[in-house]
A and B are shown apart, each in its own frame.
Chain A
Amino acid sequence: MSDTLEKQGTVEKTKEMAGQLAVVNEILERNGNDPSRLIPILQQAQEAFKYLSKEVISYVATSLGLPVTRVYGVATFYAYFSLEPKGKHIIRICDGTACHVKKSHGLLDRLNERLGLNSDKLTTDDMMFTLEQVCCLGACGLAPVMVVDEVVHGRSTPDHVDEVINKILEDEKNAAAQ
């Protein structure tokens, strides 16, 4: 336990978090420290950190003079906000009516199996992939639709899913080798 009690490490960790929250300061200022702009503030914070940590939620709340529960309530209400860190690659499977009828579940099952995920566990342990099911991506003509890192893959199949994953893994491997 006492190994955490290092002088220099403590100073650095304290400052690192202060630096992260200083990013929130900028976001707050950009929004005029206006509590009625809570949602845009949270959106911008999520953009900056990929998710909303407990610290960011508390900090936004105390800075705006709002109860922490209020901000927590807003952050948990909207599916857009994530309170968990997300993986490097984000895969969204559409389960809107059209995609559902076109067997989007087949894509989801394959991905869950391939990545060892399930409905409670959305991110791989190595923080490489996050798998999300979304209600409609507005591309019903291409059903079933999968979006990987903002790239739309229409009329996808389980085998195609495998190819996409293989490609990402290979790229990651090459990048690591360099």
Chain B
Amino acid sequence: MSDKKTLTVNGKTVEFDNERNLLEVIRNAGINLPTFCYHSELSIYGACRLCLVQVTTGDRPPVVMAACSTAPAPGMVIQTETKEIRNMRKIAVELLLANHTVDCPTCARSNSCSLQKIAEQLGVTKVRFSKRTQIDPIDTSSPSLDRDPNKCILCGDCVRVCREVQGIGAIDFAYRGSKAKVVPAFGGDLGKVECVNCGQCAAVCPTGAIVPKQDGYKVLDALYDKSKTVVVQVAPAVRVALGEYFGAKPGENVAGKLVAALKLMGFKHVYDTTFTADMTIFEEATELIERISKGGTMPMFTSCCPGWIKYVETYYPEFLPNVSSCRSPQAMFGSVAAETLPQQLGVDYKDMFVVSIMPCTAKKFEAQLPKFRRDGRPEVDVVVTTSEIAQMIDSYGIDFNNLEPMAFDMPLGLSTGGGVIFGASGGVMEAALRYAVEKLTGEPLASVDFKEVRGMAPRKEATLNVAGMELRIAVVHGLANAKALLEDLKAGRVKYDFIEVMACPGGCISGGGQPHGVTNKLRVIRQQGLYAADKANQLQKSQENYMVDLCYKEHIGGGPGSHKAHEILHTAYQDRSQVADAKLFLHKGDAAAKFPVTVTVCTKDAEAPAALLGMLAEHIKGRDYAGRCDLAAAYTAADQAAGTVCVTVGDSFLGRTNFSGAGDAAGFKTITDAIDQWFAQN
């Protein structure tokens, strides 16, 4: 007992151990100091000045300090509440409010805003400072996120989560003092920079300065349109978080009530993305086994997470051949719905409207990608987040808590436990192992649990002995952890066969579209909700999903890996590595919608790419698409493989093409053929 360290908080003796600051000690003692800029998983910033406390050490006079950036010391006497401190906190909040667009009732964060809550808690009833008059434009360029700089309180949470947890840094502080703001590069559009749309910035934003794009009105329009048959898919992670909005216990599985609510809203058929998660396992495990047996590119990465996909496309295009070509479960559902539902439901495809309910903001980005379009429209028409659907259910006046649960509609509503755990980090890996181990050994699995891939550890690794073969697996979540793994792989420090990556910490259960206030504790509770749903399901292995089997037999070429499956369940990736490069536009088209043809130029050896750009200029000049085409050079210091160039058109990657210089007519023809063809199709 005697070696315990203690200090005093408001007259009470409090023990402490390795807490990283006074704030943690004080919160452990049951005093919830207000903060905007403090998150336990991020670095300490000390900007908001709300966690001020009075600290007395020894016989020195008391001083007011920020608890978040003060180390606890034995014998400290802390007072969390004095007249002086309360006034300081109130002034800080008043100043923030004076700089803030206070349009609370119409703000997407109206019921989950920390500024609103803390102002109320502190009893701020009037703002004594005059309002800021300058209004900055709202950035709506991203399909996933909207940014309203006028609601930003400069706490830097988004900046730090993007840099520290995701290893990206798509937004940062610019300018200084009263002119300081949080912006993407050059104060430009979020939709045009390295942002991978994960929405973790929106998840930590205390106000409505960054919010998931609100697309609910599009769903309502479709529901009101009697000519439309509106069907909906629900992602696994939604069911263990949605209830929080209606006051349910965190982690409680409210899938049944959600189905009932959606039916009341007028959704004709309610399906489960878990169905296509199971289908993903069929395809992805088949792909893995094929890569192993036929000596394909290894290791293989999972491809369910569109945030991860955009990350690897942007930062590590050299690993794209390692990424499974399987579409995400959402995108698989889009194509399976388009293939099977019109016939089954007796509706024209054009009258069918497909909605997704996702925990994820990156899925909004994914759904609008040109490669996931069919007959001129997206296969998934609209993606709404968990928070959006909660708000919509509420807007219908539905008493969610007292709904009688209903089951998902068949056949695209049947699921196994393997599909459900997709929403937790490690879940895709575990479901794939349940499939692959059984296939490789040819014997039924004794135990379906692979607990070594569960939990919140930054990197989870295991080596399994399967049919006399060693299978080395790894699971990472949070893109900074993925980055560390990729660097280890590149340097040869580690060796794996199969790797699962999820962009968000803990997996989809803490996606950017989930209800607010996520902590590591809540992440684990939501994960446990999914594992409980897995256990409660009679079917725990994806391969036991007989409806998926039937769907393959009737519609998708008989089984996984078939030609038809490759056509509708797989996809190709693009190289986005040019996005941040210094660019020089050599030609600007004059049409309204333009697509850039971009050639990467290494500044150390510009000869061949410069020649190519010259030849392309001449080539484009004579084409009918000259007006729709920009021509640009993207400069890099990175050495390019000799005799090759990197060319992209619009959103497509033409590949690293052989082109050795001005005399290479064959190389040039390959490139121009691809460009001509691309413009003919777009």
Interface residues of A (CB under 8 A from B): 1-2, 4-11, 13-15, 17-19, 21-22, 24-25, 28, 54-59, 61-63, 66-70, 72-73, 76-77
Q: B582, A21: Cβ atoms under 8 Å?
A: yes
Q: A14, B613: Cβ atoms under 8 Å?
A: yes
Q: Which residues of B contact A58 (CB under 8 A)?
A: 185, 580-583
Q: A7-B614, A77-B174 are in contact. Are A14 and B633 (CB under 8 A)?
A: yes
Bound complex: CA of A9 vs CA of B604, how far in Å? 20
Q: B582, A1: Cβ atoms under 8 Å?
A: no
Q: A13-B586, A59-B582 are in contact. Are A72 and B185 (CB under 8 A)?
A: yes
22 residue pairs A–B, Cβ–Cβ below 8 Å: A1-B589, A4-B586, A4-B617, A6-B618, A7-B617, A10-B586, A10-B614, A10-B617, A13-B584, A13-B586, A17-B582, A18-B603, A18-B633, A55-B582, A59-B581, A62-B582, A67-B172, A68-B580, A69-B170, A69-B171, A76-B176, A77-B174
Bound complex: CA of A63 vs CA of B627, how far in Å? 33
Closest 7 CB pairs of A and B: A67-B169, A18-B606, A11-B614, A69-B172, A68-B185, A58-B582, A5-B621
Instruction: Name the distance in Å between A21's Cβ and chain B's nearest Cβ.
Output: 4
Q: B174, A76: Cβ atoms under 8 Å?
A: yes
Q: B603, A22: Cβ atoms under 8 Å?
A: yes
Which of B163, B175, B590 is in CB contact (< 8 Å) with A67?
B163
Bound complex: CA of A164 vs CA of B186, how far in Å? 36
Q: B168, A67: Cβ atoms under 8 Å?
A: yes
Bound complex: CA of A67 vs CA of B626, how far in Å? 33
Q: B586, A67: Cβ atoms under 8 Å?
A: no
Q: B193, A17: Cβ atoms under 8 Å?
A: no
Instruction: Name the distance in Å between A23's Cβ and chain B's nearest Cβ.
Output: 9
Bound complex: CA of A17 vs CA of B387, how far in Å? 47
Q: Which residues of B contact A67 (CB under 8 A)?
A: 163, 168-170, 172, 185, 194, 580
Contact of B183 with A by CB under 8 A: yes
Q: A11, B610: Cβ atoms under 8 Å?
A: yes
Closest residue to A8 on the B side, CB-wise? B614
Q: A67-B168, A73-B174 are in contact. Are A17 and B587 (CB under 8 A)?
A: no
1/0 per position for B578-607, CB-CB distance to A under 8 A? 001111101111100000000001011010
Q: Which residues of B contact A19 (CB under 8 A)?
A: 606
Q: B635, A55: Cβ atoms under 8 Å?
A: yes
**A13-B584, A21-B637, A59-B637 known; 17 other A-B pairs, CB under 8 Å?**
A1-B588, A5-B626, A10-B616, A14-B601, A14-B610, A18-B603, A19-B606, A56-B582, A58-B185, A62-B582, A63-B637, A69-B170, A69-B172, A69-B184, A70-B169, A72-B185, A72-B187
Closest residue to A55 on the B side, CB-wise? B582
Contact of B173 with A by CB under 8 A: yes
Interface residues of B (CB under 8 A from A): 163, 168-176, 183-187, 193-194, 580-584, 586-590, 601, 603-604, 606, 609-611, 613-618, 620-621, 626-627, 631, 633, 635-637
Which of B187, B609, B627 is in CB contact (< 8 Å) with A1?
B627
Q: Which residues of A contact B635 (CB under 8 A)?
A: 17-18, 21, 55, 59
Q: Which residues of A contact B587 (CB under 8 A)?
A: 1, 4-5, 10
Q: B633, A17: Cβ atoms under 8 Å?
A: yes
Bound complex: CA of A44 vs CA of B408, how far in Å? 64
Q: How many A-B residue pairs have CB under 8 A?
A: 143
Bound complex: CA of A59 vs CA of B584, how far in Å? 12
Q: B590, A1: Cβ atoms under 8 Å?
A: yes
**Interface SS of B by simple majority:** mixed
Closest residue to B169 on the A side, CB-wise? A67
Q: Which residues of B contact A69 (CB under 8 A)?
A: 169-172, 174, 183-185, 193
Instruction: Name the distance in Å between A56's Cβ and chain B's nearest Cβ.
Output: 7
Bound complex: CA of A3 vs CA of B589, how far in Å? 11
Q: B603, A21: Cβ atoms under 8 Å?
A: yes
Bound complex: CA of A18 vs CA of B606, how far in Å? 7
Bound complex: CA of A28 vs CA of B346, how far in Å? 65
Which of B171, B581, B627 is in CB contact (< 8 Å) with A62?
B581
Q: Which residues of B contact A17 (CB under 8 A)?
A: 582, 584, 633, 635
Q: A62, B580: Cβ atoms under 8 Å?
A: yes
Closest residue to A78 on the B side, CB-wise? B176
- Of the candidates A8, A17, A25, A57, the one having the most CB atoms from chain B within 10 angstroms of its own CB is A17
Closest residue to B183 on the A side, CB-wise? A69
- Of the candidates A10, A21, A57, A63, the one having the most CB atoms from chain B within 10 angstroms of its own CB is A10
Q: A18-B610, A67-B163, A68-B193 are in contact. Are A2 and B603 (CB under 8 A)?
A: no
Q: Which residues of A contact B581 (CB under 8 A)?
A: 58-59, 62
Q: Which residues of A contact B603 (CB under 8 A)?
A: 18, 21-22, 24-25, 59
Closest residue to B590 on the A side, CB-wise? A1
Closest residue to A67 on the B side, CB-wise? B169
Q: Which residues of A contact B174 (CB under 8 A)?
A: 69, 72-73, 76-77
Bound complex: CA of A98 vs CA of B71, how far in Å? 43
Q: Which residues of B contact A59 (CB under 8 A)?
A: 581-582, 603, 635, 637
